[in-house]
Amino acid sequence: MSVVYIDLTEFLNNPVLTGIQRVTAEICKWWPNGGLRPICLAPSGELVELPNRLIAAIVRCFSSPDGAAVDEVRKLRRETGTLIKPEGPESILVSELFYDPHRVAFFRKMSERSLERFRFIVYDLMPLLHPEYFAPDMPLDIICGYFSMVRRIPHCGFISGWTQETYCKRLLRSDHTRGIVLRLGSDGLGARPKTTATIRPLHFCSVGTLEPRKNQALIVDAFEPLLRNTEGLRLTLLGRLGWADKAFIDRVRWLSEGNCPGFEWIPNPDDDCIRRHVEAARATVYVSAAEGFGLPPVESLWLRTPVIASPDLPSLELIGSCGVEVVDPLNASSLREAVLKFLDDSYASVKIDETGELDLPTWASFANQVARWCK
């Protein structure tokens, strides 16, 4: 059995259970035939192997809401073992995004020969391409250090064709395609329903952290007049509070306090809560202005719920129009028109039926693809 090491440094130092850390957890959960060994970069500047029990503990972090699994991860973090030399024969998978200067420096001083051993998953170049969608105090000098380092990595995998193309053209300044596209799983919210109701209440939901890039302000602008004038219409925002305009957050809180019929905000939804709302919805709404991928749309389609989406979402680049209603141009008026289409039972039924035609990747297929790439 060939061994592949997975570098878990960021997860161990800061287990915030973000979307990127979920990718790491899914790799740990679905890695085929064993052979995945956890390592991290120690403060001494050396890679060290960790107890293999850490793999299962990380998987539990995303299924155990009480935090006990995170405590177990922190405990196992202290049980460091043998040193891992960068010149060894085994592949080392880096499935994390990180801006730690210490870790960036570790890779920047590494020889070209040693870098051949590493496989990096690249998520997006958003901080460089769209700094306007990030907090004003974002440390651009540190972030640029990371991307400068990633340019040297000979083996990169990308979570979408868009990220691959952007990396090659914008970061490498090359017209030649490089690397491999690794299709993220769509089944993170559980098993796919075998059947589904095609006539549903007038419920819509949107999943995602409340922040400017996710465009929840546009969603609220489009929905508010409809909520006040359409009996039975509901909109639920599902997502924690990120960095966002204070006026918008005040508006969301005010609306959710009973000042707009049918409006609800759930700031800390778990996976079960998200699944219940998505399955019950006529459509989910995901109109992000910029993404490296965008998981909620394909997770919605997996659960056989259509998506009202912004144009050119990377996660939908191979989907076509099945179960998808694209809002173009991306403004409140166009979004409102898309919602009005779904208020018609026959139209909504057709779009719901279309979702059953889709052959979507799973996290198991993603992990198998990553394993073949590494080995």
Domain with CATH 3.40.50.2000 in the chain: 203-355
What confidence tens digit (pLDDT) does each residue in 70-92 have? Answer: 888 888 878 777 888 767 789 99
- CA distances, 123 to each of 44, 156, 247, 292 (Å): 28, 10, 31, 6
CA dist., res. 354 & res. 322, Å (int): 5
pLDDT at 16: 81
Rounded to an integer, the average pLDDT of 7-13 is 92
Q: Assign 162 a pLDDT band (cuts: 50, 70, 90).
A: very high
What confidence tens digit (pLDDT) does each residue in 228-239 have? Answer: 999 999 999 999
27 pLDDT more than 70: yes
Q: 203-355 — its CATH code?
A: 3.40.50.2000
pLDDT at 299: 97
DSSP 210: B
Cβ neighbours around 140 below 10 Å, total: 12
54 pLDDT more than 80: yes
| Cα torsion 192, 194, 198, 199: sign | negative
pLDDT at 64: 73
pLDDT at 43: 87
pLDDT at 175: 87
Candidate from 50-64, 155-169, 296-310, 338-352 with smallest mean pLDDT: 50-64
Per DSSP, helices labelled H in the chain are: 9-13, 19-30, 53-61, 68-77, 101-108, 112-115, 126-129, 140-150, 161-166, 216-229, 246-254, 271-280, 295-302, 332-342, 345-355, 363-374
CA dist., res. 217 & res. 139, Å (int): 26
What confidence tens digit (pLDDT) does each residue in 342-374 have? Answer: 999 999 999 999 999 999 999 999 999 999 999
CA dist., res. 35 & res. 38, Å (int): 10
Q: Please say whether the beta carbons of 122 and 167 come within 8 A.
A: yes
pLDDT at 65: 61
pLDDT at 86: 67
Rounded to an integer, the average pLDDT of 241-252 is 91
Question: How many Cα neighbours within 13 Å face the side chain of 101?
Answer: 4
Question: How many Cα neighbours within 13 Å face the side chain of 130?
Answer: 14
Question: How many Cα neighbours within 13 Å face the side chain of 282?
Answer: 24
Percent of the chain residues topping a pLDDT of 70: 98
CATH class of 4-185+363-374: alpha beta
215 pLDDT more than 80: yes
192 pLDDT more than 90: yes
Percent of the chain residues topping a pLDDT of 90: 73
CA dist., res. 165 & res. 14, Å (int): 30
Rounded to an integer, the average pLDDT of 147-157 is 94
Judging by DSSP bridges, how do beta strands 307-309 and 283-286 pair with one another? parallel
Rounded to an integer, the average pLDDT of 46-61 is 91
* Residue 127: cis peptide before it, omega within 30 degrees of 0: no
Concatenating the DSSP letter of every residue in 213-260 gives GGTHHHHHHHHHHHHHHSTT-EEEEE--B-S--HHHHHHHHHIIIIIS
CA dist., res. 330 & res. 219, Å (int): 11
Q: Please say whether the beta carbons of 323 and 301 come within 8 A.
A: yes
